[in-house]
Amino acid sequence: MSTIRQQASACRDAAQVVAALGSDAKRALLRDMAAALETRSAAVLAANAEDMREAAAKDVQGAMLDRLRLDAARVAGIADALREVAELPDPVGVVTRRETRPNGLSIERVRIPLGVIAMIYEARPNVTADAAALCLMAGNGVILRGGSEAIHSNSAIAAALKSALEAHGVPAAALTLVEDLRRETMIELLQLSDIVDLAIPRGGEGLIRFVAEHARVPVIKHYKGVCHLYVDRTADPALALNLLIDGKTSRPGVCNALETLLVHRDIADAFLPQAVQALRERGVEWRGDERSRALVPDMHAASDDDYAAEFLDLILAVRVVDDLDAAIAHIHRYGSDHTEIIATRDEAAAQRFVQAIRSAVVMVNASSRFSDGGELGLGAEIGISTTRLHAYGPMGAEALTVERFVVRGEGQVRHSQS
Amino acid sequence: MSTIRQQASACRDAAQVVAALGSDAKRALLRDMAAALETRSAAVLAANAEDMREAAAKDVQGAMLDRLRLDAARVAGIADALREVAELPDPVGVVTRRETRPNGLSIERVRIPLGVIAMIYEARPNVTADAAALCLMAGNGVILRGGSEAIHSNSAIAAALKSALEAHGVPAAALTLVEDLRRETMIELLQLSDIVDLAIPRGGEGLIRFVAEHARVPVIKHYKGVCHLYVDRTADPALALNLLIDGKTSRPGVCNALETLLVHRDIADAFLPQAVQALRERGVEWRGDERSRALVPDMHAASDDDYAAEFLDLILAVRVVDDLDAAIAHIHRYGSDHTEIIATRDEAAAQRFVQAIRSAVVMVNASSRFSDGGELGLGAEIGISTTRLHAYGPMGAEALTVERFVVRGEGQVRHSQS
């Protein structure tokens, strides 16, 4: 048996212990994980310093280097996040439906853990703790396969968390960090369909494509967010501008940032020049179609690629459209099923937009930046699914469980023996 | 563009029309599909006769030949099944949760169709109509890829159903029957991850393995049912025997039939010889472990393969176990995550069994034959999922939808601009 199969198999066995823990035991475990992380903060920071040195030696760039960096405050923040997960409602054992059949059988739908979840991710070491906490709170075992750039930080964080597991009688394998980062090992992990119940890739498009290509286990993809704001004919211009500024500039590097603005032609004259000015003042570069550039002549031309791009930067694509249907058609063609917004005062237009758009999150007169598990009331999130199956949109602890059937009878049979 | 990609792409476009249909329109459509099938009954029967001739020429066996055969009553039964689906609750548009956040945002979770569902199946032509009806009722497009042995029947049924689609303004591609049955075409279909939202394989183990191996689209597997009955120390022997007879003999060829009996050693003396006699009278062959054979000396020995087998026949594997934990361990080792039963009068043992067994359906003192969408209150079912994700156990129309987020605000932003 290969090492990764042995590790995964041990995680599956340990997951049965986690699945049997009560809510209070899981909450106590997560709080002790938080405490262990704080106790070992110095070791985590030392390991992180090693990752930072290696990254610097490889000429890693600013934003990526910043995502990798830990300091005492960030470690404390990771510990606090663990404590927040410990306060979430426990999804395991929740009875979602209950029915008594005419033959007297009692039927319940009850949430159980998925089993073993493989998290495949890049860069930010906090994912190691966040993902572990959510998976464990939902009663699962977790296999963490982070990126090579954070391997020392991830190992130190995992070691701290595992120390708490053991103290609670949970086998350490319930939280397994894969330290063999060879691609063939990741591929083998993704093909352990008799052991791994779900793989969740989080990271760049290349990573997600790699996982989707090689996996034989179920995958919930966390793809790019090419989020659209459509400013309808009847939109309140000031409201729409606020949504645009918030969506594009408050944190351009995240998946719920806006990437494309669509403007109804009847409001384009009044809205677009003012919007261009406001966003340029905030450092945003615009890329537009012919009609946008007719209104703002010094705007760059947008290519087809620009409309499909997740810029993750202060760049905005814009198009003037004939009507609501043209906006919907643009989103169907270029969208990523993540989050789309309509700004409108016309309730019928809002309804039609909500009905026609099949993205995970669709909003009326609200900022795309609310497309987030915390903001939408899930508590913590393990990511935002763009797979239209099981969980679509922000995924919290509940999305790491599944409903099954529990049936109780008094000896009922389907075909009488007499 | 290949033919199968063109077909799938047309199905996706048509699925948007289906997704926009209201409940009444879908119900009327399904009723007209039923009527069209009855109107064309003669053509369907003629096509089926051709399949039967070809099957006979290939020396196809009795049970398979029977599954393939249609007559006027069976066609009427298929039409009735369509009318039953038309009466099911419409899952699309159902608001499953509603919340207003402290910032005034209204958050709804709303069910939407999955999109395009590819059904891969064998033998029984009624699946063509049943699967199409459930997929359409849930607002989806459906691509049907049946087996070569039923191709004429499937084509005739699909043609009848499609005639009703057109009359309702739904593009015929919403129901696409793949008539090119080459394996490479099926593989291409299973890899259209930009078009197909879900593949559901139903059939023999070989087919399901093939689909799981080649798919790049999400797959919900409908695997074998190695269903266990555990007769606990405190079981009512008469009740347990009824469950055993019903589970093993009422319809041995289906996935919710019992395959293995586990008996607590304290009750084995009293229960097993009597059970052997009762089932032998009904033609059942027993295969047991050493302890069972000590009680019933003329019993065949069970191999490891017997405990893993879905016999689909009048054969039963049996093992005497030391206690509840040993029964659970056996099921963890040999089970297929389908349906497991405990017969007991001990509520604590029942609780522990329900908690430790992670199969899709777990029952206390009821027959495995109730593990069925209709019996569990779902109305029709498209199959019984053994994939612990999205839908686990019997899958009805609701399992062909997914929840997404609809957010309504009055201009809320996450980071104030001032």
Per-residue pLDDT, B66: 86
Whether the per-residue pLDDT at A416 is higher than 90: the answer is no
Q: How far apart are CA B360 and CA B384, in angstroms?
A: 9
Q: What is the mean pLDDT of each run of 10 residues along chain B (418 residues)?
A: 96 96 98 98 98 93 85 96 96 97 97 98 91 98 96 98 94 98 97 96 91 94 93 98 97 94 98 98 98 97 97 96 98 96 98 96 98 92 94 96 98 81
pLDDT tens digit string along A116-129?
999 999 878 999 99
- Asked if B402's CB is within 8 angstroms of A389's CB, the reply is yes
- Asked if A115's CB is within 8 angstroms of B387's CB, the reply is no
Q: How far apart are CA A192 and CA A117, in angstroms?
A: 11
Q: How far apart are CA B137 and CA B91, in angstroms?
A: 8
Q: Are B143 and B8 in contact (CB under 8 A)?
A: yes
Helices assigned H by DSSP within B145-264: 151-167, 183-190, 205-214, 237-249
- Asked if B242's CB is within 8 angstroms of A405's CB, the reply is no
pLDDT tens digit string along A191-230?
999 999 999 999 888 999 999 999 999 999 988 899 999 9
Residues 6 or more apart whose Cβ sits within 8 Å of residue B258 = B227, B228, B229, B244, B247, B248, B316, B341, B368
Per-residue pLDDT, B418: 45
Q: How far apart are CA A300 and CA B293, in angstroms?
A: 84
Q: Which of B389, B390, B395, B418 to mutate to test the interface with A (most CBs of A within 10 A)?
A: B389
Q: Is B369 at the interface with chain A, CB within 8 A? A: yes
Min Cα distance B162 → chain A (Å) is 24
Tell me which residue of A269, A278, A258 sits closest to A296, measured CA to CA: A269
Prediction pTM value: 0.94
Chain B positions touching A408 (Cβ under 8 A) are 350, 363-366
Q: How far apart are CA B388 and CA B357, in angstroms?
A: 13
pLDDT band for A417, please (50, 70, 90 cuts).
low
Fold of B227-370: Aldehyde Dehydrogenase; Chain A, domain 2 (3.40.309)
- Asked if A412's CB is within 8 angstroms of B370's CB, the reply is yes
pLDDT, averaged across chain A: 96
H or E element: which one contains A228?
Answer: strand A227-231
pLDDT band for A67, please (50, 70, 90 cuts).
confident
Q: How far apart are CA B370 and CA B251, in angstroms?
A: 12
Q: Is B415 at the interface with chain A, CB within 8 A? A: yes
Chain A positions touching B377 (Cβ under 8 A) are 99, 101, 107
Q: Is A183 at the interface with chain B, CB within 8 A? A: no
Q: Is A1 exposed, middle or buried (0-12, 13-18, 19+ CB in 10 A)?
A: exposed
Min Cα distance B47 → chain A (Å) is 34
Per-residue pLDDT, A418: 45
In b/e form, how buried is each residue of B287-316, taking b as 16+ CB within 10 angstroms?
A: bbbebbbebbeebeebeeebbbbbbbbbbb
- Asked if A197's CB is within 8 angstroms of B404's CB, the reply is no
- The domain locations on chain B are 3-220+390-406, 227-370
Q: Please name every residue paired with B340 in a beta bridge, in sequence order, or none if there are none.
A: B228, B362
Q: Does domain B3-220+390-406 have CATH number 3.40.50.970?
A: no
**Chain A residue at shortest CA distance from B360:** A404
Q: Which of B412, B415, B418 to mutate to test the interface with A (most CBs of A within 10 A)?
A: B412
Q: How far apart are CA A84 and CA A395, in angstroms?
A: 16
